[in-house]
């Protein structure tokens, strides 16, 4: 069952590319005492993820900061090398979005957001979602109804829900 509003996120270990190479990142310290816009998507370099979802959070990053959000984080079932290349292609980090990989889909499965679509080679990928996390607790959650769509989970939608 997917996470719900009011749920505490699990303390997962994710991965990113750091100055010294691939490094593990504990999620709990990133959430502890902070407001975080956390969104998940099926994969780097996929059509809707690259053309709509990521750009929506880059466009709205300043608005999130103005509403007291400390960080915008994207989680996807990819390795840190793919995420580094996707960062270079999209300008995510320069646009204020932190990319964290969940290569074994452990976090994605723990929050019930995993799906498999063999026809396109997706195994245990992340369902498209956006959320606001306040001190580790889900306060806002948006899920998309269908594949290839980014409306309910776009940065603009989540931003409009935050008072």
Indicate which residues carry an active-site annotation: 49
Cβ proximity of 140 and 38 under 8 Å: no
Task: Output the six-digit token pair for 10.
Answer: 């699990």
- Crossing angle of helices 80-90/54-66, nearest 10°? 80
Cβ proximity of 63 and 107 under 8 Å: no
According to DSSP, residue 109 is labeled: H
- First-to-final CA distance of the chain: 28
Cβ proximity of 79 and 87 under 8 Å: no
């Amino acid at each position: 069952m997917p996470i719900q509003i009011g749920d505490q996120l699990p303390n997962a270990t994710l991965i990113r590319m750091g100055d010294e190479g691939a490094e593990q990142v504990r999620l709990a310290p990133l959430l502890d005492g902070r407001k975080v816009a956390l969104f998940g998507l099926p994969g780097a370099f996929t059509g809707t993820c690259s053309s709509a979802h990521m750009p929506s959070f880059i466009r709205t990053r300043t608005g999130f900061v103005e509403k007291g959000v400390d960080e915008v984080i994207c989680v996807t079932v990819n390795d840190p090398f793919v995420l580094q290349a996707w960062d270079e292609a999209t300008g995510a980090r320069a646009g204020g979005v932190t990319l964290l990989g969940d290569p074994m889909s452990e976090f994605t499965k723990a929050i019930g957001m995993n799906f498999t679509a063999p026809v396109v080679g997706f195994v245990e990928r992340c369902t498209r979602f956006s959320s606001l996390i306040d001190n580790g607790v889900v306060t806002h959650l948006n899920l998309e109804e269908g594949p290839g769509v980014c409306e309910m989970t776009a940065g603009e939608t989540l931003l409009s829900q935050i008072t």
